[in-house]
Structure 1
Amino acid sequence: MRQTDSHDDPSVEQRILHDLGYFGFFLHLHRGGRSGKQPVLVRLLAAGGTMPQRELQESLPITSASLSELLAKLEAEGLVTRLRSRTDRRQQTIALTEAGRARAREAVEGRRAFERRALACLTEEEVADLADKLDRLAAHWRALEAEHTTKKGEAACNKR
């Protein structure tokens, strides 16, 4: 067994950030991610089964090219149809098929089951406390991001 000094032991901050990274990976892997087939189907289901393609694209963290490719795959699987707008032929409305609705419902139920299992080791009080702490941390990180963005903008202006 090797001896470690204090430089080898991760700090509590390092442990937390490492764990948060793992949690992100775990959520992406087990909850379906934020882009891909499942989130598109779930988003369409939440919108009543149909949605303009532009609105769908704006509601997801995905490029329009990636969404077009994804929709082609979903259409080939018989999960969605694309309908041209009668008023503007450039616009398309995306609609879930019955198979798409069923797959979206399965995804929603799977997410709900995962959410119940994911926090099952904590009491209700601990879950509420964790949620409050994560909300504070998220607000702090948004402020750091805004600060970083402002500094980048100022640096770009100073280069001109």
Structure 2
Amino acid sequence: MKIEQIHHVAYRCKDAKQTVEWYNTNLKMDFVLAIAEDHVPSTHEPDPYMHIFMDAGNGNVLAFFELPTKPEMDRDRNTPIWVQHIAFKVKDRDTLLEFRDHLVGNGVEVLGVTDHSIFHSIYFFDPNGHRVELACPDPKEEAMLAKLDAVKWDMLEEWSKTKKAPKHAEWMHSKELSDV
């Protein structure tokens, strides 16, 4: 028994149409499906909703719910804003830079490129306030992943006991962060 892949990841949105248009325009995701009902199928709660699905590539689906009868959406104030995010992989650094320029050209504030050694990322927010990351592999990714794989259980065990960052992988961010 094993999970095959993520079927979809769902977030709440403020406006379904605006969200579809934003993801289509800025991240080139196709709008693949909409479901709208007056009752929640799983709980049978009477509550109208619009559920939209975007093609995030390679069989991955990003979904959103617009919930017009619920209080205005907010985020968990006890969790730093950089923690909760969704990250999408792009082919390479050139593609990452193209997306960064495209987003900035569309008025989106972009942070990065941030060098995580095994991959490079840019960060920004969608119109709903969700943090989004685009990441591309580093050319040396395979060797660095092997190095990290060799210490993952030791790191987890040390963290579990001390709640202090183990030093096994401090090499990852020892370089300066770069804004290319």
Normalised by the length of structure 1, the TM-score is 0.31
Larger Rg, first or second structure (1 or 2): 1
- Relative to its length, the structure with more strand (as a share) is 2
- Relative to its length, the structure with more helix (as a share) is 1
Normalised by the length of structure 2, the TM-score is 0.28
